[in-house]
C-alpha cells in the first residue's frame, strides 16, 4: 500500500542497474526545516542480558550499547527457566502464598537487576515459559485466586519492597503467553479467560495504576482474540494493552499485522487500549528450517538460525523499526536478546548482524526530531528515515534496503540548519561490516546531496554536522 504523504520514512522501489551508473536509481529529498514529530524508541527486546556460565560474553554491555528501551520477560533462561516464571519463584503451589519464605526470589532478583540498571523498562509476563516436549507447568493453575495472589506478591516484591524486595516501578504485566497453543496452555480457551479475569481483577485491586493485558496471542487473527476481547468487553474487565506476536519474512506483512491489531481492538470498543507487539522477528529461514529432523543435518538447523540474524535480517529489522514510526503501535519487542538460538546473539553471546541494526537505530535516535521526506512509508524496499538533534547541530539519516534490487540512492539535503559545508560520516551494516564507519566526505553548496551504495541486505547510517 503506497501513501503519497510526507513522512520520515521513504520506501524506494525502482530498479537501478549498478552502483556505477551515471545517475543513482533514485533521488529523494529530506527537508530539515519541516519537523514532523519525534522518533519513537520501539527497539525493545525480549529478555535480559544475564547468563549463567556457558560463556563469558559481556551481554550487559551489549544491551547498554544498543540502548534497548524495554525488555519483555518470557522464556528467560530457556529451555530451563529458573527465573521470572511463577513456578520458578513459587515452586510449591500448595504452600502458604502469604509466607515470604515460600518464594525463591534470588535468581530472578539477579536476572532483573542489570535490566533495571541499564534503564530498560520491564514488561513482566506472569505465567510460564514454552515447553516443546513436556507439559510440566503448562496446565491451568489448580486455584486461580491463589495463583493471582502469588502474582500480586511477586509484584509487591519488585515494586513495593515486600520480602526484602525492590522498588522497580514495573508498570506492565501480561497474563500468560499464547494460551491458544498446547505448548503453552493445556486448558480450554474459557479457562484462560477466567484466569485472566481473576488475575487482572486482583492486580487492579492491589494497584489500579498498574497496566494489565493479554491474551499475548500468536497473532491478531488468532482464533482466541475476538472471543477474548468480547469476554473482556462484556464483563468490563481491565485491558490496558493487547499483546500479540508476528514472525514473518516480510516487513509489509508485519506492518499489515500492526494495523490489523489496532482495527480489531477498536472494533471491540478498546480504542484506549495500547497495542503491544511483544514478539517479532524476521524469519528468513522458516519454522520448518529451524526444526531438526532426521533427514536434515544438524548444521543445516544451525545455519538456519544464523540466517535469521544475518545482514538480510538486519535490514529487515532496521526497515521495520523505521516503518513502525508511522504505525498504530505503542511498544515492540524483538524476540530475543539473550543467548538462546532465537536471539540476535548466538549461544556464545556473539552478536549477529541484527544486533548492529539495533545499534544503528539507537544512534539514529540521538537525532530524535523527525523531518520530512516525501514518499511512501511501507514495503520491503529501500526505507529512509531522517532526524535532527535538539540543538540543531547534528542530523542523521538511516537507510535500510531489505529486498529492493536498488543498489544506490542520491539523497538531497534541503535546508540544513547550518550554512556552509557539511561533513557526512557513513556507517554500514552489511555482509562485510558490523556497524563500522566506512567513509567520510565533505558536502558543499546550498544543494548538498549524499550518494549512497544501498545493495539489498544493507543498513546505512549517515551522521551529518558542520566540519
Q: Is 177 helix (H, G, I), strand (E, B) or coil?
A: coil
pLDDT mean for each 10 residues of the chain (467 residues): 35 33 65 97 96 86 97 94 97 98 98 97 97 94 98 98 98 97 95 98 98 96 97 98 98 97 98 98 96 86 96 98 97 96 95 98 98 74 95 96 91 93 97 97 85 95 96
CA distance 334 to 75: 13
| Candidate CATH numbers 3.20.20.80, 3.40.190.10, 3.30.70.270, 3.40.50.620; the one for domain 44-364 | 3.20.20.80
What pLDDT is recorded for position 446?
67
Q: Are 317 and 335 in contact (CB under 8 A)?
A: no
- What does pTM read for this prediction? 0.93
What pLDDT is recorded for position 25?
61
C-alpha cell at 44: 525493545
Farthest-apart Cα atoms in the chain, separation: 76
Q: Which CATH superfamily is domain 5-39+367-465 in?
A: Golgi alpha-mannosidase II (2.60.40.1180)
The partner residues of 35 in beta bridges, in order of sequence, read: 371
C-alpha cell at 261: 491489531
CA distance 184 to 208: 28
Terminal-to-terminal C-alpha distance of the chain: 40
Sequence spans of domains, the chain: 5-39+367-465, 44-364
Q: Are 315 and 402 in contact (CB under 8 A)?
A: yes
CA distance 89 to 84: 7
Q: Are 203 and 210 in contact (CB under 8 A)?
A: yes
What pLDDT is recorded for position 53?
72
What pLDDT is recorded for position 4?
30
* 215-254: b (≥16 Cβ within 10 Å) or e: bbbbbbebebbeebbebbeeeebbbbbbbbbbbbbbbbeb
Q: How far does CA 384 lie from the centroid of its chain?
A: 19
Q: Are 452 and 445 in contact (CB under 8 A)?
A: no
- Cα 185–183–114 angle (5° rounding)? 90
The two domains 5-39+367-465 and 44-364 share their CATH topology (first three levels equal): no
- Cα 267–272–278 angle (5° rounding)? 85
Measured N-to-C along each axis, helices 311-323 and 353-364 cross at an angle, to the nearest 10 degrees, of 30
* 34-62: b (≥16 Cβ within 10 Å) or e: eebeebbbbbbbbbbbbbeeeeebebbeb
What pLDDT is recorded for position 27?
67
Q: Is 87 helix (H, G, I), strand (E, B) or coil?
A: helix
What pLDDT is recorded for position 63?
97
3-state secondary structure 205-240: HHCCCCEEEEEEECCCCCCCHHHHHHHHHHCCCCCC
Sequence-distant (6+) residues with CB within 8 A of 161 are 167
3-state helix, strand, coil in the chain (%, to 5): 25, 25, 45
What pLDDT is recorded for position 298?
80
Q: How many CA atoms lie within 13 A of 199 on its CB side?
A: 31
CA distance 448 to 27: 12
What pLDDT is recorded for position 76?
96
Amino acid at each position: 500500500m503506497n501513501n503519497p504523504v510526507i513522512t520520515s520514512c521513504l520506501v524506494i522501489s525502482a530498479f537501478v542497474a549498478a552502483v556505477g551508473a551515471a545517475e543513482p536509481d533514485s533521488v529523494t529529498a529530506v527537508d530539515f526545516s519541516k519537523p514532523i514529530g519525534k522518533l519513537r524508541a520501539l527497539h525493545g527486546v525480549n529478555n535480559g542480558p544475564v547468563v549463567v556460565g556457558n560463556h563469558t560474553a559481556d551481554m550487559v554491555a551489549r544491551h547498554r550499547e544498543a540502548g534497548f528501551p524495554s525488555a519483555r520477560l518470557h522464556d528467560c533462561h530457556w529451555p530451563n527457566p529458573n527465573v521470572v516464571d511463577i513456578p520458578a519463584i513459587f515452586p510449591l503451589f500448595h504452600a502458604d502464598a502469604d509466607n515470604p519464605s515460600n518464594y525463591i526470589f534470588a535468581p530472578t532478583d539477579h536476572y532483573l537487576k542489570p535490566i533495571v540498571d541499564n534503564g530498560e523498562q520491564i514488561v513482566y509476563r506472569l505465567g510460564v515459559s514454552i515447553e516443546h516436549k513436556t507439559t510440566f507447568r503448562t496446565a491451568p493453575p489448580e486455584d486461580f485466586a491463589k495463583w493471582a495472589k502469588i502474582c500480586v506478591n511477586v509484584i509487591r516484591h519488585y515494586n513495593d519492597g515486600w520480602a526484602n524486595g525492590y522498588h522497580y516501578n514495573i508498570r506492565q504485566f501480561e497474563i500468560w503467553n499464547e494460551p491458544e497453543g498446547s505448548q503453552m496452555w493445556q486448558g480450554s480457551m474459557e479457562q484462560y479467560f477466567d484466569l485472566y479475569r481473576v488475575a487482572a481483577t486482583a492486580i487492579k485491586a492491589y494497584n489500579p495504576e498498574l497496566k494489565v493485558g493479554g491474551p499475548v496471542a500468536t497473532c491478531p487473527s488468532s482464533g482466541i482474540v475476538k472471543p477474548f476481547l468480547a469476554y473482556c468487553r462484556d464483563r468490563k474487565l481491565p485491558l490496558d494493552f493487547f499483546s500479540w506476536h508476528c514472525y514473518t519474512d516480510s516487513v509489509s506483512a508485519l506492518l499489515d499485522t500492526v494495523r490489523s491489531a489496532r482495527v480489531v481492538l477498536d472494533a471491540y470498543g478498546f480504542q484506549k487500549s495500547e497495542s503491544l507487539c511483544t514478539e517479532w522477528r524476521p524469519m528468513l529461514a522458516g519454522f520448518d528450517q529451524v526444526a531438526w529432523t532426521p533427514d536434515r543435518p544438524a548444521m543445516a538447523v544451525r545455519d538456519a538460525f544464523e540466517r535469521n540474524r544475518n545482514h538480510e535480517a538486519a535490514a529487515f529489522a532496521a526497515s521495520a523499526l523505521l516503518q513502525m514510526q508511522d504505525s498504530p503501535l505503542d511498544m515492540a519487542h524483538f524476540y530475543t536478546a539473550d543467548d538462546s538460538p532465537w536471539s540476535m546473539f548466538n549461544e556464545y553471546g556473539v552478536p549477529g548482524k541484527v544486533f548492529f541494526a539495533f545499534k544503528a537505530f539507537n544512534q539514529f535516535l540521538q537525532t530524535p526530531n523527525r523531518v520530512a521526506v516525501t514518499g511512501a512509508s511501507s514495503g520491503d524496499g529501500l526505507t529512509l528515515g531522517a532526524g535532527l538533534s535538539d540543538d540543531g547541530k547534528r542530523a542523521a539519516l538511516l537507510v535500510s534496503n531489505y529486498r529492493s534490487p536498488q543498489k544506490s540512492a542520491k539523497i538531497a539535503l534541503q535546508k540544513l540548519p547550518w550554512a556552509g559545508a557539511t561533513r557526512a560520516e557513513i556507517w554500514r551494516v552489511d555482509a562485510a561490516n558490523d556497524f563500522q564507519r566506512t567513509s567520510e566526505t565533505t558536502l558543499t553548496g546550498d544543494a548538498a546531496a549524499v550518494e549512497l551504495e544501498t545493495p539489498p541486505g544493507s543498513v546505512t547510517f549517515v551522521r551529518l554536522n558542520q566540519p
